[in-house]
Structure 1
């Protein structure tokens, strides 16, 4: 992404006051020494000392005036590679300065403003640029925290050859670096409710989107002749085919619990950050498998621009869809809500296919709401993060197990969820396989979906 940052540097102020404010320590020392020498020359009647004092006092003032009146026509641009980076990974920022005037520049000091979480402010010294010339520099940024971070504006510090005065001129534009959650590759296990059917040829899964489509349509090139409806062909005078063999696309809704009261702790290793990363990994995985994917939070909101059926996977637009959802998860934060009822209301429109939830602490009321959610889906998988299991004691020993958490886990399983407890620092791929084993065990024993351990 090549962005912003292109334009002329703007002066930070105006008038003699701005020029004098740019005097360095050396320049102020020269000025003070010149004034002191002038006073001594007047008291002692030494004309030679007066000439030295005038030289010392006038030189920094002259440098400040000349530097202030200097009009460099310099443009700058910034390029992020990449503009969207996972948390904990590095991005490189490329800066380019162009001298668009007919005169060469002097020594330039370049500084880019970056948030402190990305690292120290980068500073560069650019040597003399000839007319029409350019200089390129780059630096790296890294953040362990999700978010959208502004980069810029660029600042140019102009200095005179004697180092007596420095002036700062800034560009007006900036770019944005998006730090998205970490995405972990997941194994291709078969979860309940995810099968894709093809009409009468295969058994339809409850995760399939839409109703059975039996309305005939006109024949199209490539249609199977076995699907020709001869009676309607005779009636309409053209080839008509049945549409019930049309493949259906499976749906998947990823529910992210963002309630502030459901999580304890903060920082990149907190339970909430694990849940956000897990949701991101699941969204990407299901898109790659061809699902129509929808992201939902406890507030009932979804990704801006998302259709009623979610984003379609295995299409040319799936990469853009993943980017939109990653951008949403990059800035998601704790909500002030106390329950999951608004998320349940958002699921009332019809079958949501496979439902995968990342949940914090639950009370009995929220466990009941989740049990009702299970009835709206073809399959349901829950990852339950208990705050007590994630918050360590001062000695570094994990806190005691929470009996209420075990009861909530059992309630979800009895309601038909494939429920998995998430210990501190767990690997999502391992939990993904554990969920598949749990589902297989439940199907073998004939217990409710997700039952067993």
Structure 2
């Protein structure tokens, strides 16, 4: 379902499996007043039979029949009330609000009684919304709305919608639970990053990017499917007629530089939890980096320490156009639900980086592959694995988070060594010697400032003469 599209929250409720079963279920909806009326009617009927009072029998019949008539009327009405939910937008950053609009339509020929509407939402999105709606005329509709907000990223179900109907006399109260629900995706907060150039000459689409030349002759043309934004003057009509779909010529076009964003999710590399924890900062910084690089025209992929890559198709990199937008949404959805991994090392990520040619550009030639990593605590072994990811001729930028700094513990040498970790400066030096542009990511410093520092920082002493991944 597209964002903002109405979602049918109707459908057959769990109590509508059959007429007999539905009526028996509806009888259980008698309120205390309704049960009292029914009991009084039966008692009056018995007394009228014993005493031979016909007038009392009429009163008893009225008292007994009235609740039963209300049950029958509400039983028929509740299955002729349809509901829709509209969620706008369906993907929001943490701390932002989304609007939920509910609409009820009375499709029966009878007016409804008092309606009490309730939508189920997780507690992190706020209090459970409840609404009281007055009588809805036949064919009429009512619309209500509420807002949801979460400071924690994730995927949260909205629904199912619950509807309680009562008759004007308050004798019966029936509940209808709809079956459909929507999902609100809360993605990490992103920060606008400044334009910086790390090293090298090539950028996403700019000067220095390599270009691919296609065969442009009438007989040797290599067509491809039409994509949104293609110039209609490039349509190849002969191929269009042959394949039955719009085809365009492959002309000289710039190839987009590649960039990989590596996120270290190891549980043992971070301490603390909550919106202000080190891990949440790393997730938010990775999301900001992905958005920024996509805006600059890079082909981007998201990689974690487990070796999982998003997107999985197309060699793991976004391909541009509509596919790029869908891949960007997929990466943000992945970051919305990413959690700690139980892995102890970065070996899988190292294999994924080296096997896919990050740092070696398109097709294994050149040097415009950019690698940007967000690491937690690194011991000597993991520092060595991270150093292997940086390949000569490729740009590599690492932001290293230190648990001692983020947790507020003293950062003395004895304290760090007690945890089995080398000092932070030693970890950074090991990465810089391998060619990384490595920076510490202390608590309380905006990521945009660290991004600017990374663009101005000198590259490592070893392997630092090659060109890197272009404009940031």
TM-score range, shorter chain: 0.7 to 0.9
* Number of residue pairs aligned between Structure 1 and Structure 2: 405
Query: Which digits, 9 at most, give the CA deviation of each residue in 1:198-227, with x for residues without a partner?
Result: 99xx7x6xxx78xx96x884469xxxxxxx
1:400 corresponds to which residue? Answer: 410
Deviation of 1:330 after TM superposition, in Å, equals 0.9
Distance 1:255 1:275 in 2: 10
1:257 corresponds to which residue? Answer: 264
Q: Is the 8 A contact 1:5 1:171 kept in 2?
A: no
1:374 matched to 2:390? The reply is yes
Deviation of 1:89 after TM superposition, in Å, equals 0.6
The 5-angstrom pairing of residues 217-256 of structure 1 reads 217-218=215-216, 247-256=254-263
2:348 corresponds to which residue? Answer: 342
Distance 1:364 1:430 in 2: 28
Q: Is the 8 A contact 2:387 2:434 kept in 1?
A: yes
Distance 2:139 2:66 in 1: 31
Question: Closer, same or farther in 2 for the Cα pair 1:376/1:132, shift >3 Å?
Answer: farther
After TM superposition, the score normalised by the length of structure 2 is: 0.75
For structure 2, list consecutive stretches of 5 or more residues without a partner in the other structure. Answer: 219-249, 360-368, 417-421, 466-472
Q: Is the 8 A contact 2:434 2:462 kept in 1?
A: no
Q: Is the 8 A contact 1:102 1:131 kept in 2?
A: yes
Deviation of 1:194 after TM superposition, in Å, equals 6.8
The 5-angstrom pairing of residues 399-418 of structure 1 reads 399-401=409-411, 403=416, 404-406=422-424, 407-418=426-437
Distance 1:142 1:405 in 2: 40
Distance 2:136 2:42 in 1: 39
1:331 matched to 2:350? The reply is no
Deviation of 1:372 after TM superposition, in Å, equals 0.3
Q: Is the 8 A contact 1:355 1:377 kept in 2?
A: no
Distance 2:66 2:423 in 1: 76
Q: After the TM superposition, which of the residue ranges 160-169 and 141-150 deviates more from structure 2?
A: 160-169
Deviation of 1:304 after TM superposition, in Å, equals 4.0
Distance 1:193 1:176 in 2: 43
1:115 matched to 2:134? The reply is no
Corresponding residue to 2:178 among 171, 174, 184: 171
Distance 1:306 1:11 in 2: 41
Distance 1:177 1:10 in 2: 23
For structure 1, list consecutive stretches of 5 or more residues without a partner in the other structure. Answer: 221-242, 392-397
Distance 1:198 1:166 in 2: 64
Q: Is the 8 A contact 1:192 1:380 kept in 2?
A: no
Distance 2:130 2:198 in 1: 52
Query: Which digits, 9 at most, give the CA deviation of each residue in 1:101-150, with x for residues without a partner?
Result: 33332322211111111112111122222232221111100111111111
1:12 corresponds to which residue? Answer: 15
Question: Closer, same or farther in 2 for the Cα pair 1:306/1:277, shift >3 Å?
Answer: farther
Query: Which digits, 9 at most, give the CA deviation of each residue in 1:260-303, with x for residues without a partner?
Result: 11111111211111111111000000011111111101111112
2:372 corresponds to which residue? Answer: 356
1:321 matched to 2:324? The reply is no
Query: Which digits, 9 at most, give the CA deviation of each residue in 1:44-92, with x for residues without a partner?
Result: x998999989877775565445433545412221111111100111000
The 5-angstrom pairing of residues 40-439 of structure 1 reads 60=67, 63-70=70-77, 72-193=79-200, 195-196=202-203, 217-218=215-216, 247-308=254-315, 310-312=317-319, 315=321, 317-347=323-353, 348-352=355-359, 353-375=369-391, 378-391=394-407, 398-401=408-411, 403=416, 404-406=422-424, 407-439=426-458
Distance 2:340 2:319 in 1: 27
Distance 1:86 1:27 in 2: 49
Secondary structure of 2:195's counterpart equals coil
Distance 1:128 1:279 in 2: 51
Secondary structure of 1:308's counterpart equals helix
Secondary structure of 1:423's counterpart equals coil
Secondary structure of 2:283's counterpart equals helix
Question: Closer, same or farther in 2 for the Cα pair 1:73/1:349, shift >3 Å?
Answer: same
Q: Is the 8 A contact 1:99 1:105 kept in 2?
A: yes
RMSD of aligned residue pairs (Cα, Å): 3.6
Distance 1:434 1:21 in 2: 69
Distance 2:404 2:273 in 1: 13
Distance 1:448 1:155 in 2: 63
Deviation of 1:307 after TM superposition, in Å, equals 1.8
